[in-house]
Structure formats: C-alpha cells, structure tokens
Structure 1
Amino acid sequence: MTDFIVKKFIKDYDNIKSSEVRTSYGKLGSLVGIIANFILSLSKIATGTLFNSISITADGVNNLSDAGSSIVSLIGFKISAKPADKDHPFGHARLEYITGLIIGFIILLLGFELIKSSINKIIHPEATKFSILMIIVLIFSIVIKLWLSYFNGNLADRISSTTMKATALDSRNDVIATSAVLVSVIITKFTGFEIDGYMGTLVALFIIYSGISILKDILNPLLGEMPDEELIQSIENKILEYEGIINIHDLVVHNYGPNRYFATVHAEVDAKEDILKSHDLIDNIERDFSNDLNINLVIHLDPIITDDKEINSLKEMVETIVMSIDNDLSIHDFRVVKGDTHTNLIFDVVVPVDYNIQSNELVNQIDNLIKKENNTYFAVVTIDKNYVSTYVNKPKLK
C-alpha cells in the first residue's frame, strides 16, 4: 500500500538525496495525515458530543491537533526545501526541526486543556449514552491510526525525517489512547460504572507524554547531538580506504538539517611524500565525499615522519603511558624537539567530551609518568575533545 502511494504521487521516488524528492515525501505524508485526521476528528467530536462522552471528544480533539500538526509539517517541509541564500548560507533544512517543536507544543497545550475538561466531568459527572456507532467509530479510528503509524514510519525511514518519525510515534500513541477509550465505553455499558472522565484524563496525560517525547527528540538535533555512530564509522572507513592516508583524527560533524552534513577532519600523510601529490589526494577525497555521500568535507593535511626509529620508539612509549591512564585516551601529531639539556615531546591527547579529569591534572599526570622514563623528557601536551562517538584508529599496544 505504501509503495503504491509513493510510486503514484512521487516522481523519481528512489532518488532520496534530491531535496525536491525529499520535500515530495514530506508533502505526501502531511497531506495524507491532514485528510485522515480531519475525518477522524469530525467523526469523534460529533459522536462524543452526541452521546455525552468526554473521552471520545478528547480523542477527537487529539486527532484535530494531529491534522493541525500535519499542516504545520507541510509548511515546514516546503520552507525547509528552499535553497541557501545570502542570509542562510547553509540552507533552510533546520526549519523542519522548528516545525517539529511547534507540533510538540500544540500537543502539550491540547493535553492540558483536555485534563481540565476531564476533571470537570469527574467533579460533575453526567451519564454517557451508549451506541453501537461509538464502537464502530473507535474501531475505525484504531485501524486508520495503525496504518498511519506504519505509513509515516516508512516514509521517515526512507528520508531520515525526525518530524515524520514524531508523527509516526504520535499515531502509534493514538492507537493506545483510542483503545483505552473503547475499553472504557464497553466497561461503562456492561458495569454501569461511569469512568468516562477518568479515561479522558488518562488520554490527556497520554497526549502530554507524547508531546514531551516529541519535544525531546526534536531538541537533541537543535542543541547539537552526537552524530550517528554508523555515519561516523562510514566517514572514517571511507577516508582510510585511500592509499596514502596513514591515520585520521579530530573528526567533527555538523548537522544543518536532515541529510545535510558538514565535516572537518585531520588526515595524516607521509612527510616525505610530494606535497602536491598529497594535496591532490586530499582534493580527491573531498570531492568523492561530496558526490558519494553528499557531505561537505574539509580535510586538514598533517605530514608525519614515519621512518625515524627514535621518534617512533618515543611515540610508542607515550602511547603506552597515555593509554595506561585511560584506554579511552589516544594521541596524535607527535613531534620531537631536541635540546642540549632536555627534549620536548610535543603531542595532542584526545579525550571524550564528558571526561571527568581536569585538563591540567591530566597533563601533569602524563608529564610525571614520562619523566619517570627519562627526566630529560618534557611533555608539551594539547588536550583535544573527541566530538564523535568512535575513534577507530586508536593505536594498539604491542
């Protein structure tokens, strides 16, 4: 069913890298959501009003908020597809996150309003009229929402959309909420216990929880979350596939919207290699990343000495010392400057962003351990933060 709809309404549907195709997916999901939720909302609000059921009315208002959210999403997808301009050189894709925030706040607001109405019915109870029409409307809603959850989830996976994932989650939550309302209607019919107000409160709380979950998922990319580990691994592995690249470090990935990445990295090459040849290699890698992965990659070239036995021995000694402190630490940019009275060992230490040892304390600890090996060695250390979740090329101890 989903494949049929996608192929029917989206041209070049398998070209996910195209911003136009991605926008078409977003528009399709939003339009389907608007139509389905508007129908469900009208049927539930009418049924709830007719038979004096606050829980069904609350469920209908929830569907109305979903229709409104789909309208906001539709606008968001349209605006986020605008190309970069003078004032927004990285494009407008992050606007999709903003629309997700609006959806979350709308859901929260409606949830709080429905709690008021439900509590009012608990305080001032009124008998709910039973009708087979109520059962039909609720079962129909459950079926439609199950399909919408699958449909939006499928589209979200295809285009990696946090907004559509939030919509799919909301549809799934609606299935649970509507099922609870259906159970309450049946219980009231066969037991006579009036639990409509209580069930309306539970539905409202569920709506609020859904809104908080959506806000949490949207805020993470806006604040700057850890890049996906699979993406980091693919970047690192691809760079290391090129002959002439010895190692990499200081990888940083910036996200300017779904599937819009900018990255920087330091790549180590043999210092004896011709600089023009190394520069050509770096240019080729950056071009390949742009064409193959749609990632704007900037590489800083780090020439290193590979055939000096003394330097390699000292580097291995420092690596052993640093990793003895913590296996999550690693070094790079190792250099040696010899003097008449002492030798400077210059290097960077990569630490996790949440590392619990202060930088100056770590430097002193490293320096003291190096001096135990030879008191004429002085450690000149720069602390680097590791902004990604993996570091696949950490040197291994022999």
Structure 2
Amino acid sequence: MTEWLVKTFVKDSDNVSDPQVRLRYGQFAGIVCIICNVALCLAKGLVGLAVGSVSIVADAVNNLSDASSNVISLLGFKLASRPADNEHPYGHGRFEYLAGLTVAALVLAIGINLVITSFEKIFSPETTDFGPAVTVVLLLSIGVKAWMAAFNMSLGKRISSTTLEATAADSRNDVISTAAVLASAVISQVIGYDLDGIAGTVVGGFICWSGFDLLREAIDPLLGSSPDPQLINHIHDKIMSYPGVLGTHDLMVHDYGPGRLFASAHVEMAGEQDVFEAHDVLDNIEQDFKDEGLIMTLHYDPIVTKDPMVADMRHWIAVNIQEKIDPRLTIHDLRTVPGPTHTNVIFDCVRPHDLALTNDELKKKISDIVTARYPKAICKITIDESYVSSKQ
C-alpha cells in the first residue's frame, strides 16, 4: 500500500537525491500522519470522555501531540528545502533537525502533564465504564499506528530522513502505550479494581521516555555527532580504490542537514610522481563524490616510496604502536632528516578521543618504542585528534 501511495502522490518519487522530491516526501508523510492522528484523537477523546477514562483521554492527547509534531515536521521540511544564500552558504538543512528538537520538547512536556493528571487519579479514583466502544477504538488505534510506523520507516529509509524514522519510532511506541491502556481496561473488568490511573501514569511515563529519546536524537546532529561508520568506510574504500593512492587520513565530515554533507581528507601518493598527474587523480575523486551528493575536498600528501629504509620504518612504527599502546593509533606523513649524530623522524599520529594518555604521555611512549629500535632517532611527533570512528 505504501508503494502505491508514494507512486500516486509523490511526483518523480524515484529521484530521492533531488531536494524538491525530498520535500514532497516529507510533505506527503506529514499530511498522512496529521489526518490519521487527528482522526484517532477525536475517536479516543470522545470515547474516553464518555466513559470517564483518564488513560484513554491521555492516549487521545498523545495523538493530538503527534499531529502537532507532524505540523512542525512539515514546516521543518519546508524550511530545510530553502536554497543557500549569502548568509547561509551551506543551505538551511539543519531546520529539519531544529524541527525534530521542537517535536521532542513538545512530546516531553505533554508526557509530564499526563503523568501528573494520571497520578492524581490514583489517589482520587473515579468509576470508569469500560465497554465495547473502548475495545473497538483502542484496537483500531493499534492497527492504524502499526501501519503508520511501517509507513514512516519505509519513507524515512528511502530518503535517509532521521525525522521520519523518529516519527516511525514514535508510532511504534504509541502501539505499545495503547496496548497498555487496553490491557488495563480488560484487567480492571476481570479483577474489579480500576487500574485507569495507573495505566495513565504508565502511558504518560512512556511518552516522557520517548520525548527524552527524541530529544537526544535531535540534539546529536546539532552538536556535531560522529558520522555513520558505514559512510566513513565507504569514503575510505572509495579513495583507496583509485590508482596511485597509498593511504588516506585526517577525514572530517560536516553535516549541514540531511543530504548536505561536506567532507575533507588528506590523500597519500608517491612524492616521486608528476604532481599534475596526482592532482588530476584527486580532482577525479572529488568529482565522483560530488556525483554521489558529497562535497569533498582532498589534500595531496606526497610520501617517499623509493627509500626502503623509510618505508620499513614507517611500517614498523605503525605496527608496534598499535600492538604496544592502542590498536586504533595510526601514523602518517613520516619523513626523516639524517644528520651526523642523529636522525630526526618526523610524523603525525592520530589518536582516538577516549585514549587515557595525554598527548605528552603518548609522545613519550611512542618515542621510547622508536628509539629502542632506532637508537639514533629523535622523534618529532604531531598528535592529531580523530574526528571519525576508526575504520575496522
């Protein structure tokens, strides 16, 4: 059904890299969700008020908050689709993240209010009349929300939208919370004790938990979270696949919103080759990444390849610091400056953020390892921080 809806209502649906097609996906998903959530809110609200059930009313208000969230998501997709301008040269894609942050805050606020209301009913219980109407409307809600979860997850994966995937997760949570309300209604009838206030508190608590989780997911990209390891591996493997490339390091990925990624990296190539040929290879790599939707800037690092002593030293140091200090450590740009009494060994070392050693401690440990093998070596080490997860 989802595929039919997409083909019918989303023009040029296969061209998901087009910002306008992405906008149409977001708008379509938002409108569908608003219609479903408003219908569920009205149905559950009327039944909940009729039977005096705070948990059903709480679930209805949750659907109303979901509809409000869908409106905000719609606005976020619209603002995020605006093109770059002089004040925002990287575009407005982060509006989608800001919309997600607003949705999370709204969900959390409503959850807290529902917990308070339901908690009061535990100490001041009122008779709740559970009947067939309650069962029908709650079963209908579970079915609709299950479909919405699958619908949003399908569209979210198709256009790589964390906003739609978060909406799918919220719908899945609603299935669980509504099932809890239905279970409390059935159990209350069996045992003769009204569990409505307790169920409402549980539903409200679950909404709060979802709000916190959505809040964390919305804040992460705004703070600059680590890029997807699959993307890092793809970038690394693609760069290494080109002729003449010997290594790559210092990769940085900057996220300016869904579909707006910028990256930079250093590429090691033989220093003995023609510089124009090396530059041509880097231009081709950058263009190929641009065709994929990633703006890439590459820096050429020439390395000596025809000096076997330097090559052996580079390999030996790389292997031994990984074995004796941390397997995530890497080195690059190693060169030597021989002298009559000593040889300066100059290189960069990339360290993970969570390494227990300070930079000075790390330098000393590496220097001790190197001088144990090369007594005349004096290490000149620059420590770099890793901005991505290490490639496994």
Question: Match of 1:99, as an amino acid?
Answer: A
Report the counterpart of residue 15 of structure 2 in structure 1: 15
CA deviation string 1:223-269 (max 9, x = no partner): 11121111111111111111111111111111111122111111011
Distance across 2 between alignment mates of 1:151 and 1:221:
24
Structure 1: which amino acid aligns with 2:288? D
1:144 has 2:144 as partner: yes
Report the counterpart of residue 126 of structure 1 in structure 2.
Answer: 126
**What displacement does 1:192 show?**
1.9
CA distance in 2 between counterparts of 1:283 and 1:63 reads 51
User: Residue 243 of structure 1 aligns to a residue in which SS?
Assistant: coil
- Matched residue, 1:315: 314
Q: How far does the alpha carbon of each residue in 1:131-175 deviate from its partner, in whole angstroms, 9 at most, with x for none? A: 311111111111101100110111111111111111111111111
Helix, strand or coil at the partner of 2:245: coil
- The CA distance in 2 between the partners of 1:391 and 1:200, in whole Å, is 46
Query: Greater shift after overlay, 72-81 or 176-185?
Result: 176-185
Q: Report how far residue 314 of structure 1 moved.
A: 2.7
- Residue 281 of structure 1 aligns with which residue? 281
Moved over 6 A (4+): none
Q: Which residue of 2 aligns with 1:306?
A: 305
Instruction: Return the letter of the residue paired with 1:212.
Output: F
Structure 2, unpaired ranges of 5+: none
Q: Does the C-alpha gap of structure 1 residues 360 and 58 become closer, same or farther in structure 2, counting only changes over 3 Å?
A: same
> Which residue number in structure 2 is paired with residue 265 of structure 1?
265
* Cα distance in 1 between the residues matched to 2:86 and 2:19: 19
CA gap 1:187/1:317 in 2 versus in 1, 3 angstroms:
closer
Cα RMSD of the aligned pairs, angstroms, is: 1.3
- More divergent stretch after superposition (316-325 vs 115-124): 316-325
2:176 aligned with 1:176, yes or no?
yes
Residues in 2 aligned to 1:333 and 1:124: alpha-carbon distance in whole angstroms: 72
Matches of 1:378 and 1:189, distance apart in 2: 82
Under a length normalisation based on structure 2, what TM-score does the superposition of the two structures give?
0.97
Give 1:359's aligned amino acid: N
1:254 correspondence with 2:260:
no
Q: Which sits farther off after the overlay, 193-202 or 365-374?
A: 365-374
Pairing 1:122-271 to 2, within 5 Å after superposition: 122-271=122-271
**Which residue does 1:72 correspond to in 2?**
72
Q: Which residue does 1:395 correspond to in 2?
A: none
Distance, in Å, in 2 between the alignment partners of 1:131 and 1:5 is 35
Alignment of 1:75-94 (within 5 A): 75-94=75-94
Deviation at 1:340, TM superposition (A): 2.3
2: CA distance between counterparts of 1:254 and 1:296?
A: 10
Question: Is the contact between residue 328 and residue 390 of structure 2 (CA under 8 Å) also seen in structure 1?
Answer: no
Instruction: Tell me the amino acid that sits aligned with residue 334 of structure 2.
Output: F
Tell me if the contact between 1:177 and 1:206 (Cα under 8 Å) persists in the aligned partners: yes
Q: Deviations over 1:52-78 (max 9, x none)?
A: 111110000000000000000001100
Pairwise CA distance, 1:11: 1.1
Q: Is the 8 A contact 1:334 1:345 kept in 2?
A: yes
Report SS of the residue matched to 1:186: helix
2:298 alignment partner AA: I
For residue 31 of structure 1, what is the amino acid of its counterpart?
I
Between the aligned residues of both structures, percent identity stands at 44
- SS for the counterpart of 1:355 is coil
Distance in 2 of aligned mates of 1:263 and 1:165? 24
In the superposition, relative to structure 1, how do residues 55 and 267 fare at CA in structure 2: closer, same or farther (>3 Å)?
Answer: same
Q: Match of 2:22, as an amino acid?
A: R
The answer as to whether partners of 2:239 and 2:245 remain within 8 angstroms in 1 is: yes
More displaced stretch, 160-169 vs 181-190? 181-190
Give 1:22 shift.
0.8
Distance apart, 1:374 and its partner CA: 3.5
Can you list the C-alpha shifts for 1:93-127, whole angstroms capped at 9, x where unaligned? 11111111111111111111111211222222111
**Structure 1, unaligned runs of 5 or more:** 393-398
Q: Distance in 2 between matches of 1:120 and 1:32?
A: 35
Is residue 297 of structure 1 aligned with residue 291 of structure 2?
Answer: no
- The alpha carbon displacement at 1:130 in A equals 2.7
The two structures have a TM-score, normalised by structure 1, of 0.95
Aligned residues: 391
| CA shift for structure 1 position 221 | 1.4
In the TM superposition, what is the alpha-carbon distance from 1:213 to its structure 2 partner?
A: 1.1
